[in-house]
Structure 1
Amino acid sequence: MDSLDNPIRPYAWGSTTAIPALLGTVPTGEPQAELWMGAHPGAPSRLNRGAGPRTLGETITADPESELGPRALAAFGPRLPFLLKVLAAGSPLSLQVHPSRSQAQSGFADEERRGVPLDAPHRNYKDANHKPELICALTPFEGLCGFRPAARAAALLEGLGIDELKPYALTLRSRPAGEALREVLTGLLGADRTTLAPTVDRAARAAERLGGEYTPYAAIARHHPGDPGVLAAMLLHHVTLRPGEALYLGAGVPHAYLSGLGVEIMANSDNVLRCGLTPKHVDIPELLRVVRFEPTDAGVLRPEPGPGGEEVYPAPIDEFRLSRYVLEADAGTDTGARTIPAGGPQILLCTHGTVILRTDAPQSAELTLRPGRSAYVPASETVTITGPGTLFRATVAQ
């Protein structure tokens, strides 16, 4: 069991205050978007077992079977298969979608064959892995997730009262849902931005005036004036998560996070195809290959009771499993203690209160975690935890 030193990513959409407030540190005035916990080579966590700091990836590579356990090693190879984050959205992220594993493999191979540099701005695939993800709200958290029913999206566009949007609404009402969603999204994203910008601006003013269910789109437009993604966002469910609620985002589901603080877990990949709300590259032909053009339920998740007081967020994925423990005060005894079993690699993150971790491993018998602090636990170690506090557990599906 080791305390982790974790990097913070300063993306422009990040909140300037949310992560410092969690950590109890002074804001720098700069955006602090994501706190990364894991072995991703782009920003790995570090630990120190007495021989100086080293990355978590280097630690795992030195003895993958001991660190990961035989089952995870056989399933995913000698690497940590998940990445855990605290995500703090101060403004909307790009509207985006993630590929399936087979789509990522073929897309990555194609770009490698064509010699597209990994850091090229028009590169779609940074690796050959899929990127399913799950976000759990720590504060009220707003997002967009999955296509609405086509008729509902048509009604939302019609309600703006803008003639230029009537053909899109007619398509949504008159064609089969999947075909209509494909045609409208393609038309919006493929239109000349300069030509479409006045329509987007009129839609933004109408949304501001109408309020109610249009309020999120007015807010998006303030951050992305003239962006066709403002209109594309109206095709998607708008969701507000309460603390403790979550969303699972599988392959092909368009989504965007708008505001709030949450714990996010994903397969260890960096593959993102953007659909809008961004100045970055939008590859429409590749989007058409990847996006699932079908109405879906937004699918808000609530934790399900698990063994030993664990609360589990169900997700149909093997690379990760997210759960939490809400621990009461133990009054100096082990009355409120919970035991986390061994078997796979784990990252434990405290988000509230103080959580004490104990293990029988001689080099790291006890750690105290306060909000925003985390620990890595190798597969062989069983951990006992006491509160009062809230602890998130990231591991692989067993």
Structure 2
Amino acid sequence: MKQLLGAVREYAWGSRTAIADLLGRPVPTPHPEAELWLGAHPGDPSSVIDSGGKTSLLDVLAADPEGQLGATTAARWGNRLPFLLKVLAADEPLSMQAHPSALQAAEGHAREERAGIPREAPNRNYPDPTAKPELLCALTEFHALAGFRDPHRTVELLRAVSTPKLAGYVDLLAGEPNSDGLRALFTTWITLPQPALDSLLPELLDVCVTHVREHGEFELECRTVLELGERYPGDAGVLAALLLNRLVLRPNEAIYLPAGNLHAYLDGTAVEILANSDNTLRGGLTPKHVDVPELLRVLDFACGDMPILTGEPDEQKHLLTYPTDAPEFELSRIEWADGESDPVRLAADGAQILLCLDGAVELDGPASMSMRRGEAVWLAASDPDVVVRPSGEHTKIFRATAGSEFPAHDTL
């Protein structure tokens, strides 16, 4: 049981306040801070803190993989921590993207290796051979686009904002309001020549302005299109946003993004847990590389409402788990209201990362340590069970572990 020091990542879409405030640093920061990484990602591993100073978690795992990860996890994931825990703070939209399955990632990685594409090349889609499912849990109100909306509802939206140039595309989906119709319309839009986009989008934006002014039924969706159109003029992702569920998550609500789910995070602060992978296929809203044929190869056009997870209660009071089919990770939330002090016992059944978001806790094992807001702790598989006790004020921590069941999605 040791303190874990995360790595702060600066990206242009990040916040100048959220992560710094969590870590107790002055705000605003000189540059946007987008993510706090807690894990053993080779690009920016966390550090374990003990009496000897700081040691990279990568080095800690390499020195004792079975003791740190547990024999089962070490064997399943090649002595590698399979998950990465993040705090994500978005003040601007991220790119529209999807991630491959394990089989797609392995095939794509092998193909690009044979082609000799450098792993750091901007046109590299598969820098590693692993899947990248994600789960995002809101800490503040969090806005996102995720998953294809029911096509019947999308037809209603498109008719509400229809223009002469858009009408034919509305008819395309209305004639086949299912996954095949969504695939056809999305493929058409994402491959439109730039002159066609430059002609179509201004009309759409004008109609969206009117819809917002009149407080129409799809006001939120139209506001999103206008915001994206302003930030990414002439981008096909602005059209694609019309096809996706527009979500507003409340604190503690979560969404699970399996392989092939097209999504874009828009605004807010959240905890995110994901497989320890960099494989991303972008579909727009970005100046980065967009590989349309490869994106279409991995996209899942299943449609309907995006399930919202709130956490399933455990036998222990205060412990809730967000279930998914991802073998790489599992996220749990432990929360106490003011005045509550019931302890929670965390079994030593594998590597764990604990992150305190509110209040403070005492961790009791053979040794004891405290964890306050913004602090994290690494629990090795070889550590004994730990009893967590809150300070008495409102307290919330998140617990990240490897998935409890595997294999779940396709494997090699």
The correspondence of residues 16-55 of structure 1 with structure 2, limited to 5 A, is 16-26=16-26, 27-55=28-56
CA distance in 1, matches of 2:188, 2:272: 32
> Alignment length, in residue pairs?
391
CA offset at residue 52 of structure 1? 3.4
1:300 match: secondary structure: coil
| Pairing 1:383–2:386 present | yes
Q: Give the counterpart letter for 1:8 in structure 2.
A: V
CA distance in 1, matches of 2:142, 2:264: 11
| Pairing 1:318–2:321 present | no
**Contact residue 82 and residue 275 of structure 2 kept, 8 A:** yes
| Pairing 1:394–2:395 present | no
- Of residues 200-209 and 78-87 in structure 1, the stretch that sits farther from structure 2 once superposed is 200-209
**Contact residue 330 and residue 337 of structure 1 kept, 8 A:** no
CA offset at residue 330 of structure 1? 6.6
**Contact residue 229 and residue 235 of structure 2 kept, 8 A:** yes
| Pairing 1:5–2:13 present | no
Aligned counterpart, 2:373: 371
The correspondence of residues 267-278 of structure 1 with structure 2, limited to 5 A, is 267-278=275-286
Aligned counterpart, 2:248: 240
Of 255, 259, 268, 1:260 maps to 268
**Contact residue 135 and residue 264 of structure 1 kept, 8 A:** yes
CA distance in 2, matches of 1:238, 1:254: 12
CA distance in 1, matches of 2:52, 2:371: 22
Aligned counterpart, 2:238: 230
CA distance in 2, matches of 1:244, 1:173: 36
Of 335, 342, 347, 1:336 maps to 342
CA distance in 2, matches of 1:19, 1:193: 38
CA offset at residue 329 of structure 1? 5.7
CA offset at residue 125 of structure 1? 0.5
Q: Give the counterpart letter for 1:132 in structure 2.
A: P
CA offset at residue 160 of structure 1? 1.5
Q: Is the alpha carbon distance of 1:323 and 1:203 closer, same or farther for their aligned partners in structure 2, counting shifts above 3 Å?
A: same
Residue by residue, what CA displacement relative to the aligned partner does 1:284-329 show, whole Å, maximum 9, x if unpaired?
1111210012213301111110132211111111211100111256
The correspondence of residues 135-284 of structure 1 with structure 2, limited to 5 A, is 135-175=136-176, 177-211=178-212, 212-213=219-220, 214-284=222-292
The correspondence of residues 286-325 of structure 1 with structure 2, limited to 5 A, is 286-309=294-317, 310-325=319-334
Q: Is the alpha carbon distance of 1:146 and 1:3 closer, same or farther for their aligned partners in structure 2, counting shifts above 3 Å?
A: same
1:78 match: secondary structure: coil
TM-score (norm 2): 0.91
CA distance in 2, matches of 1:179, 1:22: 44
CA distance in 1, matches of 2:379, 2:150: 44
CA distance in 1, matches of 2:323, 2:231: 33
**Contact residue 84 and residue 394 of structure 1 kept, 8 A:** yes
CA distance in 2, matches of 1:9, 1:385: 29
CA offset at residue 206 of structure 1? 2.4
CA offset at residue 4 of structure 1? 1.2
**Contact residue 345 and residue 395 of structure 1 kept, 8 A:** yes
1:261 match: secondary structure: strand
- Of residues 144-153 and 173-182 in structure 1, the stretch that sits farther from structure 2 once superposed is 173-182
| Pairing 1:115–2:116 present | yes
Q: Give the counterpart letter for 1:315 in structure 2.
A: T
Residue by residue, what CA displacement relative to the aligned partner does 1:148-182 show, whole Å, maximum 9, x if unpaired?
12222222222223111112111101126222212
**Contact residue 330 and residue 386 of structure 1 kept, 8 A:** no
The correspondence of residues 72-91 of structure 1 with structure 2, limited to 5 A, is 72-91=73-92
**Contact residue 325 and residue 390 of structure 1 kept, 8 A:** yes
Give the 4+ runs in structure 1 shifted more than 6 A: none
What value does the CA root-mean-square deviation take over the aligned residues? 1.6
2:94 match: secondary structure: coil
- Of residues 342-351 and 165-174 in structure 1, the stretch that sits farther from structure 2 once superposed is 165-174
CA offset at residue 222 of structure 1? 2.5
Q: Which runs of 5+ in 2 are unaligned?
A: 213-218, 405-412
